[in-house]
Amino acid sequence: MIIKPTRSSGIAELLGSKPKSSDMVAPKKSNLVVSSSVIPEPDNWLKNIMDETLEKDQVLWAEPVRYFRGSEVGDPCLRSLCLSVMGHRMPIEANLRRIFDAGKNIEKVNVDTMIKAGLCPTENYTQASIKYPDPPIQGHTDVIVLRDKAKIRRYLGEIKSINEWPFKSLPKEHGPMLASKSPLFEIKTPHKYIMQWNCYAGAPNMTFDEGFLLFEEKNTSAQKFYWLKRDDELLEKMFIRLRLAAPYILSDPMLIPPYSLNMEEPPCKTCNRKYLCKNLPDYELDYTAVRNIDKELRG
């Protein structure tokens, strides 16, 4: 199912907010005599067209997969993880799409610089695939850096772009330390990035001892590097949690687990799936039943 929102409804309503009245500018009066069939465009016609182009045809349900995404292993809610695997998606407004696209450009510029510096000699050193069989996890690394000419020391890198205030609140940069010991681990969003990096670093098909998280501030391009060591104990804790949920995504039909399966209380207040989750019973539910409930809620 897809949606094709308009500026006056669509995504704003799905996300529980209404467009500001200031966004809709009324046509200015003119003393010119025009044909009654010609209606002057609002002053923000170009912005509206561009926004609608970014927002239209967003998928509400993608094709299900049978693995967890490496970028999501830091999600503390197993039900949310399974909904993502099922294909559940939330539409995003145009401003967020622009933010995401800007982040991709920041990643590309940094990776291109590393390639130019001779740190990534082949295409295999960007967007390399990682896979786990148990629990099933798949993902793609941002970059792999080689430091010495012997090309023995490899470093796994993940690049993140953030806004001014979150960037200023980041802790002091540090050298190599266990992932769970980094001060980033205690901060909500960077915590997820630590989990992602550590998951990639321990992948059986491509293991890394060390690497880094690079944060770049979007407005000033200021950067902070945090050097990390793979944390095997943290990996084991992740395995225990994901193995609880794995049988649900591998079953036929695919199931979502009961909310009570969570090992800790997830941050429901900030979850964009709470509109659906709070309307689901606290027991396992199959894919079709979940889709039907979501259809009733979103239309």
* Angle at which helices 188-201 and 232-250 cross, to 10°: 90
pTM of the model: 0.83
Segments of the chain with pLDDT less than 50: 1-39
Candidates 155, 164, 163; CA nearest to 226 is 155
Q: Is 127 helix (H, G, I), strand (E, B) or coil?
A: coil
Q: Nearest-5° angle of CA 91, CA 92, CA 95?
A: 160
Per-residue model confidence (pLDDT) at position 123: 74
Per-residue model confidence (pLDDT) at position 26: 37
Per-residue model confidence (pLDDT) at position 149: 63
Summarised one tens digit per residue, pLDDT across range 195-213 is 999 999 999 999 999 999 9
Summarised one tens digit per residue, pLDDT across range 140-191 is 999 999 987 666 789 999 999 999 999 999 999 999 999 999 999 999 889 9
CA distances from 270 to 37, 219, 237 (A): 48, 25, 24
Per-residue model confidence (pLDDT) at position 150: 63
Per-residue model confidence (pLDDT) at position 41: 64
137-140/174-178 β-pairing: unpaired
Q: Dihedral of CA 92/142/119/190: which sign?
A: positive
